[in-house]
Amino acid sequence: MSDLLKPERIHWKHYFAGFGFITIILQLITGLYLMFFFDPTLEGAYKSIQYISNQLFMGSLSRNLHRWIPALLFVAVFVHTVRCFLRWDFENKNKRILWLTGVLLLLPIFLFMVTGLIVPWEWKGYFFMEMIPNYFEPIPYIGQTLKDFFLVSFTIPRYYVFHVVLLPLISIILIDYHILAKLRKRGIFRYLLKHSIISLPFIILLFVLAWKMVIPSNDPIDVPMPLEGQWVPAPEWYFLTVLLPYMYIRSGIWIPILMYIRSGIWIPILSFFLPLALFFGVAFMPYYLKNTVVDEDDEEEGESKPKRQVHHSNALKRFWHNLNNTSLRRKIINWIIVSIITFVFISLITWGNYNSPTLGCNSCHHLANGARMGVPPPSFKDRASLPHLSENDWMMKHWYYPTEVW
Ligand code: HEC
């Protein structure tokens, strides 16, 4: 059978991967457009974003699309990842590269969101930029030096270079190994056309969200309420989730139990370094696990396709394989399990972040309250006179409960 036919046969299986790919292209297009008008300097960023949002032709739509796409991309990538996990792809010799590049791709996606939040230099961006260096402080011996380095060296132009040059470059290389190389043989255009058509409901949803739920940017004319944005899923939710220990462990109900971890180092370990280590552990799984499954799928390269040959070493895997051995049952069970895992995961993120008023910062931080409150500073603030900038728990509380902290 011709390789060219394969994408057609398998398209439903890779629905979310295809949708993810399309959102990446949309993100590239909107990003390119924004790039022409964005001024990546501390003095100019805020002004140029206000211009893009309020005056530029299609500016508001592009900016808001560019902000909503990551949220949907994240969900698509998550569903795709769960499916690959459940297919035990990490034990498939032929899929080593697919697995590694796929998991590694999560990192640029995450960093895109972080840097993308910083570059507009609204209060949220400033907030996050101030928080990053704090992470490094509790590391023994080199922490303080690292923190100072980030405070001195990281300015908007550098984050911007990350966002528009370095991260895209890394992503393109990874995507090339992950899928492009294969698609080039099979016809990229046909693949994209097909997936654009079947993804149409989600693409329409994106446009509706970008049109209806805009970031307040008409400062100071349109001032939102302080808590506006609760329940609105925002890209920043994903890394705010990682930061949640800062809010709950130090001051929450757990204090009596976890007194001993208040000493500082444990919170960054829990919320940053441990997830990072876990991440690399997962990425390299096919390289240190016994690769017993040789081939179970039909999406491999055509030429030297190995025979279907499945050895499942442990009981759990055998159970999973037996569950899956009729194709309709397999589809239904897969669908249910993937949906449940995705639902639980997204619910947890929502539950952890629903009270984050991600649109309400402009409620107090707007120009009518003076430049001090209105415009994010054109340089880093002096931490000696504003010591709470060094306290990530203050910062987190200010984000989640601004009306209580002030
Ligand atoms: C209820 C009003 C209010 C809301 C809403 C609000 N802030 Fe603030 N914020 C303040 C005030 C007042 C200060 C000044 C603190 C000071 O002078 O030390 C402040 C200070 C800050 C600071 C510290 C820097 C500085 O100049 O002191 C950051 C960062 C910040 N806000 C970010 C945010 C973000 C991000 C949001 C939205 C998630 C937000 N704020 C929402 C009132 C608010």
176 CA to centre of ligand 1 in angstroms: 42
> Could you report the per-residue pLDDT of 361-399, keeping only the tens digit for each?
989 998 888 888 888 887 778 888 888 888 888 888 899
Residue minimizing CA distance to atom 22 of ligand 1: 127
Q: What is the mean pLDDT of residues 225-239?
A: 88
Burial of 342 (0-12, 13-18, 19+ CB in 10 A): middle
Query: Of the ranges 7-16, 56-65, 172-181, which one carries the lowest mean pLDDT score?
Result: 7-16
Name all residues whose Cβ lies below 6 A of ligand 1. 123-124, 126-127, 130, 226, 357, 360-361, 363-365, 381, 386, 398-399, 402-403, 406
Which residue of 129, 223, 398, 400 sits with most ligand 1 atoms within 8 Å of its CB, as the best mutation to test the pocket?
398
Residues 6+ apart with CB under 8 A from 66: 27, 30, 31, 34, 116
Cβ atoms within 10 Å of 69's Cβ, excluding its own: 24
Residue minimizing CA distance to atom 25 of ligand 1: 386
Q: What is the DSSP letter of 176?
A: I
pLDDT tier at 2 (50, 70, 90 boundaries)?
A: very low
- Index of the ligand 1 atom closest to the CA of residue 126: 29
pLDDT tier at 254 (50, 70, 90 boundaries)?
A: low
Q: What is the mean pLDDT of residues 294-304?
A: 46
Q: Which of 63, 16, 99, 21 is nearest to 286 (CA)?
A: 99
Structure tokens at 315: 């009981």
237 CA to centre of ligand 1 in angstroms: 18
Please indicate whether residue 92 or residue 356 has the higher confidence score (pLDDT).
Answer: 356
221 CA to centre of ligand 1 in angstroms: 19
Residue minimizing CA distance to atom 15 of ligand 1: 406
pLDDT tier at 60 (50, 70, 90 boundaries)?
A: very high
Cis peptide, bond prior to residue 235, ω within 30 of zero: no
User: Mapping DSSP to helix (H, G, I), strand (E, B) and coil, where does residue 14 land?
Assistant: coil
Residue whose structure tokens are 């009306």: 403
Structure tokens at 269: 């370990």
Q: What is the mean pLDDT of residues 32-57?
A: 93
365 CA to centre of ligand 1 in angstroms: 7
Residue whose structure tokens are 């393109």: 172
Residue 307 has pLDDT above 50, yes or no: no
398 CA to centre of ligand 1 in angstroms: 7
Please give the Cα distance from 237 to 217 (Å, whole number). Answer: 20
How high is the pLDDT of residue 311? 57
How high is the pLDDT of residue 7? 44
pLDDT tier at 300 (50, 70, 90 boundaries)?
A: very low
Q: Which of 96, 301, 77 is nearest to 171 (CA)?
A: 77
Which residue of 118, 122, 232, 364 sits with most ligand 1 atoms within 8 Å of its CB, as the best mutation to test the pocket?
364
Please give the Cα distance from 267 to 165 (Å, whole number). Answer: 32
Residue minimizing CA distance to atom 14 of ligand 1: 373
Q: What is the mean pLDDT of the chain?
A: 83
Stated as kind and residue range, the H or E segment containing 10 is helix 6-10
- Index of the ligand 1 atom closest to the CA of residue 227: 5
Find the distance separating the first CA and the last CA of the chain, reported in whole Å: 67
Q: What is the mean pLDDT of residues 280-305?
A: 65
Structure tokens at 297: 């799928």
249 CA to centre of ligand 1 in angstroms: 22
Residue 258 has pLDDT above 60, yes or no: no
Please indicate whether residue 298 or residue 346 has the higher confidence score (pLDDT).
Answer: 346
Q: Which of 348, 349, 323 is nearest to 336 (CA)?
A: 323
Structure tokens at 146: 């690292």
Sign, CA torsion 9/10/11/13: positive
127 CA to centre of ligand 1 in angstroms: 9
How high is the pLDDT of residue 151? 83
Full DSSP string of 277-312: HHHHHHHTHHHHS---B-B--S-S-STTPPPPB---
How high is the pLDDT of residue 200? 94
Which residue of 131, 239, 356, 361 sits with most ligand 1 atoms within 8 Å of its CB, as the best mutation to test the pocket?
361
Q: Which of 211, 199, 182 is nearest to 25 (CA)?
A: 199
Please give the Cα distance from 57 to 405 (Å, whole number). Answer: 38
Residues 6+ apart with CB under 8 A from 139: 146, 265, 268
How high is the pLDDT of residue 291? 64
How high is the pLDDT of residue 340? 94
- Index of the ligand 1 atom closest to the CA of residue 127: 29
Residue 236 has pLDDT above 80, yes or no: yes
Q: What is the mean pLDDT of residues 166-178?
A: 95
pLDDT tier at 20 (50, 70, 90 boundaries)?
A: very high
Q: Which of 400, 42, 38 is nearest to 234 (CA)?
A: 400
Q: What is the mean pLDDT of residues 308-328?
A: 65
Residue minimizing CA distance to atom 5 of ligand 1: 226
Q: Reply yes or no on domain 3-405 having CATH 3.30.300.20.
A: no
> Could you report the per-residue pLDDT of 189-230, keeping only the tens digit for each?
888 998 999 999 999 999 999 999 998 888 888 888 989 988
* CA atoms lying within 13 Å on the CB side of residue 261: 18
Query: Of the ranges 88-97, 263-272, 329-338, which one carries the lowest mean pLDDT score?
Result: 263-272
382 CA to centre of ligand 1 in angstroms: 15
